[in-house]
Structure 1
Amino acid sequence: MTTLQSYGWNEHFMRHFQINPFPNLEAARVLSIQGFIHLLITETGHMDAQLAGTLINSRESETCPKVGDWVLVKRYEEEGMIIDTLPRLNELSRKAPGSQSARQVLAANIDGVFIVQGLDRDFNLMRLQRYLHQIVQCNIQPVVLLNKKDLVPDPETYRQQVLDLGYSCPVVLTSALYPMLQSEWTSQYLQPQQTYILLGSSGAGKSTLLNNLLGYQLQKEGTTSAANNKGKHTTTARHLVLLPNGSMIIDAPGMREFGITVEAGKESANHPLIEELAPQCRFGDCTHQHEPGCAVIAAFNNGSLPELVYRSYLKLLREQYHFQASESDKRRDERRFTKMAKQIFKHRKNRKY
């Protein structure tokens, strides 16, 4: 097996590499990004590289290389210049933090996402459903890791609450302090040549889990603040690392915001349990908020649809409507600016400026 194959190189990337219009370039995968420096893995080893100016100026931020991307790089002695990005298989994104409506791509070419929640203080079903909704919308398989099971008297009740959300994904009880518990799920869900990412809040135990998987300390293990019971950030950037079993994992910084976006072809914040009920609604375009004959509202009223699921659905739906409106406003403003700029250039040309 070649170096690139061990990092996930497959026929999809080979096909696009062979038809790229740039001669004498190498293929490489982005392992981490520190400022302007991209750490790459090539067939001959690691390389530091920067983006070509034409790539920076011609791309939106979300389409520029991210951790997990496969890129075309031109070598200059020990450093390189990234010329282009090979088409992605998928991308994990969220709404950019703050008041922006733009998407932020967290990583690319991901085979699975491990959502880590600690059962001591971090367990939050509403937040977990937000993660699940966005990950599924990105067409990536999630696995829920309920960490620190040794700190609660009945961990199975927490697992059942997650299962009741209705998402068809594995829910695993574990503890980073017990290697045997980790080996039970890692042997099943971490497959060679596959790429995974760890997501969750600070203090959930992601870095401890990763350090145990690696067998050495890649990230400093943090503590929980006594002032607010919130975890302290120990991971400050995303890093793709190769695990001893041949799989790859990305440790992402703790996220206090995980905003919902609207992906192509997704026009509503549907949840598996709501999608199951929706065909029974009187109207095909039912929003499940106020329409007569709505099977979702009826299920909520009679208690067969959990209140948490329905209220979370309404909240996510409002967020998606807001995201769509913001994107629409942005595109409208861009059209107005383009039209105004053309008028100015035409006026200057006529006046011979």
Structure 2
Amino acid sequence: MTFSLANLGWQAFFQQQLSLHEWEITQPVRLIGQQRDQWRVMGEQGELLLQAVPDWQPCVGDWLLLQQGRPERLLERQSLFQRSRPGKDSRTQLIAANVDTALLVMALNHDFNLNRLERYLALVHEAGVQPVVVLTRADQSDAIVEHVAQVQRLDTSMPVLAFNALDADDVRQQLHAWCATGQTLALLGSSGVGKSTIANALSDSAGQLTSGIRDDDSKGRHTTTSRSLLPLASGAWLMDTPGMRELQLTQCQAGLSSTFSDVEQLAAQCRFSDCGHGSEPGCAVREAIEAGELELRRWQNYLKLQREEARNSASLAQRRASAREFARHAKTIVAGKRIMQGQNKR
């Protein structure tokens, strides 16, 4: 199976990064699958399997330039999802590149969680990608309208859909507007909420494994274990990612500001610029909470995510500063050895 560059998601943003000489001697390909030491790429000549290049850090969705079948250059990304690695590791982990639309999937059961959705929205806004909230298991809920309204209050302009992911026709119909030829979608959400079922419906195949969830807590197992781009019948591409239970924010201040723009606008209206939003007079945030104009839950989650982002970003900055200091120290030692060797030769 072969695709044109446009069908693979090639846009003017990438074209402008190539010189005329590069356009003549290189071949643009897109990374559609990634393992530890191998990359699956797709170009106009078809699919290729490449050996991973040491020290390169691409992720699925990236565009590469090949020269005589070998990776030559990684193109600048139009959008990038990244997170702090789970656990105590402060390094960032690349999730997906060059995505146009993010489908944020939550199930209408125990998985429904506005705090977690706001976390995803911060990540999506930071990447500059359009979010579309997808609520699954609508056939098992008696409070669809209420849940849709709760999500819609987070952002009145954000598309919010609700359906039964097992109804393939309904899935394709409701998501049709975001599945045009050459468009790239990403699936984000917890395990067991129906991401792989949605992928199967959109790709009109059972290529993605699916698994059920436990009835007692509505939690599922990770069905997708690697990131890959799947071609859809509509001509779009779908990125299916493993469920992310621990999505830590890092270097995401702009995304948080966009997600909580209403909160930050209130904070800017406080009488004192250094208001702690406690007992200070003229606190617009506290007044909004007391008047029911701002949910206490949303305010508390905003503070929590701000602290988390600041902590993770500071850890990353400290690690990078330490690496730079070590490099300078190593250069000093090498230079000193060279001077000593020169003196000894004399």
The normalised TM-score by structure 1 is: 0.88
Larger mean Cα displacement after TM superposition, 236-245 or 320-329: 320-329
Distance, in Å, in 2 between the alignment partners of 1:47 and 1:112 is 26
Task: Return the offset for 1:264.
Answer: 7.7
Q: 1:67 aligns with which of 49, 54, 60?
A: 60
Structure 1 residues 300 and 236: CA distance shift in structure 2, 3 A: same
Tell whether 2:5 aligns with 1:7.
no
Question: Could you say what secondary structure the match of 1:104 adopts?
Answer: strand
* Distance in 1 separating the partners of 2:220 and 2:328: 48
- Percent identical residues: 35
Counterparts of 1:87-98 in structure 2, within 5 Å, are: 87-98=76-87
Question: How far is the alpha carbon of 1:327 from its aligned partner?
Answer: 2.2
CA distance in 1 between partners of 2:317 and 2:255 (Å): 15
Give the equivalent residue in structure 1 for 2:296. 307
Partner of 1:32: 33
Counterpart of 1:141 in structure 2 is 130
With 35-44 and 281-290 compared, the bigger mean Cα shift is at: 281-290
Kept after mapping to 2: 8 A contact 1:32/1:40: yes
Query: Larger deviation: 174-183 or 209-218?
Result: 174-183
| Counterpart among 240, 247, 266 of residue 277 in structure 1 | 266
2:148 corresponds in structure 1 to 159
Alpha-carbon shift at residue 93 of structure 1 (Å): 1.5
Partner of 1:238: 227
Question: What is the CA distance between 1:12 and its match in structure 2?
Answer: 2.0
User: Is the contact between residue 102 and residue 187 of structure 2 (CA under 8 Å) also seen in structure 1?
Assistant: yes
Distance 2:221 2:287 in 1: 43
5+ residue gaps, structure 2, are none
Q: Using the alignment, how far apart are the partners of 2:237 and 2:223 within structure 1?
A: 20
Contact 1:269 1:313 in 2 (8 A): no
Match of 1:127 among 88, 113, 116: 116
- Residues 108-160 of structure 1: CA deviation (Å, up to 9, x unaligned): 11111001111133211111111011111221110000001001112111111
Letter in 2 for 1:238: R
Count how many residue pairs are aligned between Structure 1 and Structure 2. Answer: 341
Aligned to 2:172: 183
Of 81, 93, 106, the residue aligned with 1:117 is 106
Cα distance per residue 1:157-180 (max 9 Å; x no partner): 111111222363111111112234
Q: Report Cα offsets for 1:297-347 as digits up to 9, x if no partner.
A: 321233210111101101001011102321232133123313322332233
SS in 2 for 1:16: coil
Q: Which runs of 5+ in 1 are unaligned?
A: none
Q: Who is 1:205 aligned against?
A: 194
Matched, 1:260 2:260: no
Per-residue deviation at 1:285?
Answer: 6.5
1:249 matched to 2:199: no
Q: Does 1:99 align with 2:100?
A: no
Residue 334 (str. 1) matches residue 327 (str. 2): no
Superposed displacement of residue 51, structure 1: 3.4
CA spacing shift, 1:291–1:104, aligned 2, 3 Å = farther
**Post-superposition shift, 1:283?**
4.5
- Structure 2 distance, partners of 1:156, 1:283, is 40
| Whole-angstrom CA distance in 2 between matches of 1:97 and 1:246 | 34
Query: Does the aligned pair in 1 maintain the 2:64–2:74 contact within 8 Å?
Result: yes
Q: Is the 8 A contact 2:105 2:135 kept in 1?
A: yes
Distance 1:86 1:287 in 2: 44
Separation in structure 2 between the aligned mates of residue 266 and residue 149 of structure 1, nearest angstrom: 29
- Is 1:18 matched up with 2:19? yes
Q: Which residue of 2 aligns with 1:347?
A: 336
CA distance in 2, matches of 1:233, 1:275: 36
Tell me, in whole angstroms, the C-alpha distance in 1 between the residues paired with 2:62 and 2:46. 16
